[in-house]
């Protein structure tokens, strides 16, 4: 009986996640174009036809319509159902870590914003200030939800990565974007200094690996979006940071 109840609960969390993911697709598409995300129904980017409610069911509508607009037959990008699916799976993962609690809500909201930042940065090479400001909400809430991360640790976290990034940018123009710096400052308050270092390390490791692959394939541009890899690092630190840090210190008997 307990297994059945847990399965229903996980399914419920997954449904919440894919519904939120559907809204994130709207944010990802509209914010760079400065279109209001609060007004107007979803529309086809090809023919501008309004999408009917029964054609806008997360994940399933894409499969039902075989990846094509119901009005003009134009292709629907695979990224839309993938964002919805990933958001659903992320909601389930966060639930597995924190259970159904305010902690789950705060971390899930942060994760949803990080997904938007990731996709928009990939598309435009910029991180909108509005999304960084939005991230301040779960960051501030985390002060009350995770009291074990002290205020001093959070204050140090604001500058421990963002300040070196800013200084490096002064000497090496375009080393980091302003959005990357602001993102790490807000994340620093949310994570505390230890997990902020971990998040940055993961981001640099992943970003560096991708850069090496692009260089080997000779497809590297002068610039690459770094925000997505920082977002992965931040989310990893939010979920598993303390576990990873304890494991690392144990390797040295600390």
% pLDDT > 90, the chain: 61
Rounded to an integer, the average pLDDT of 104-131 is 95
Question: Would you state the pLDDT for residue 67?
Answer: 77
What are 132-187's pLDDT values in tens digits?
999 999 999 999 999 999 999 999 999 999 999 999 988 887 778 889 999 999 99
Average pLDDT of span 217-239: 85
pLDDT for 80:
92
Per-residue confidence at 218, pLDDT binned at 50, 70, 90? low
Query: For the residues 94-120, what does the mean pLDDT come to?
Result: 95
Average pLDDT taken over every residue of the chain: 89
Please write the tens of the pLDDT for every residue from 191-213.
Answer: 999 999 999 999 999 998 888 88
For every residue of the chain, which 3-state class applies, written as one string? CHHHHHHHHHHHHHHHHHHHHHHHHHHHHHHHHCCCCCCCCCECCCCCCECCHHHCCCCHHHHHCCCECCCCCCECCCHHHHHHHHHHHHHHHHHHHHCCCHHHHHHHHHHHHHHHHHHHHHHHCCCCHHHHHHHHHHHHHHHHHCCCCCHHHHHHHHHHCHHHHHHHHHHCCCCCCHHHHHHHHHHHHHHCHHHHHHHHHHHHHHHHHHHHHHHHCCCCCCCCCCHHHHHHHHHHHHHHHHHHHHHHHHCCCC
Summarised one tens digit per residue, pLDDT across range 26-79 is 999 999 988 888 777 777 777 776 777 776 888 888 888 777 877 687 788 899
pLDDT at 220 over 60: no
């Amino acid at each position: 009986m307990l297994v059945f109840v847990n399965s229903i609960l996980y399914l419920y969390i997954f449904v919440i996640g894919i519904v939120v993911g559907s809204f994130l697709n709207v944010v990802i598409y509209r914010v760079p174009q400065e279109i209001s995300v609060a007004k107007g129904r979803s529309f086809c980017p090809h023919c501008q036809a309004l999408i009917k409610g029964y054609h806008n069911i997360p994940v399933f509508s894409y499969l039902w319509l075989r990846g094509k607009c119901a009005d003009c037959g134009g292709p629907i990008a695979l990224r839309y159902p993938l964002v919805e699916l990933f958001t659903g799976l992320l909601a389930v993962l966060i639930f597995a870590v924190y259970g159904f609690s305010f902690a789950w809500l705060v971390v899930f909201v942060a994760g949803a914003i990080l997904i938007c930042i990731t996709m928009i940065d990939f598309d435009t090479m910029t991180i909108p200030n509005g999304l960084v400001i939005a991230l301040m909400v779960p960051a501030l809430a985390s002060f009350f939800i995770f009291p074990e991360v002290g205020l001093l640790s959070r204050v140090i976290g604001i500058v421990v990565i963002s300040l070196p990034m800013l200084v490096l940018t002064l000497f090496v123009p375009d080393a980091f974007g302003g959005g990357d710096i602001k993102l790490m400052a807000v994340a620093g308050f949310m994570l505390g200094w230890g997990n902020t270092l971990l998040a940055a390390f993961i981001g640099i490791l992943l970003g560096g690996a991708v850069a090496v692959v692009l260089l080997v394939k000779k497809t590297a541009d002068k610039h690459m979006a770094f925000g997505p890899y920082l977002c992965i690092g931040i989310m990893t630190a939010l979920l598993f940071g303390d576990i990873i840090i304890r494991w690392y210190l144990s390797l040295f008997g600390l």
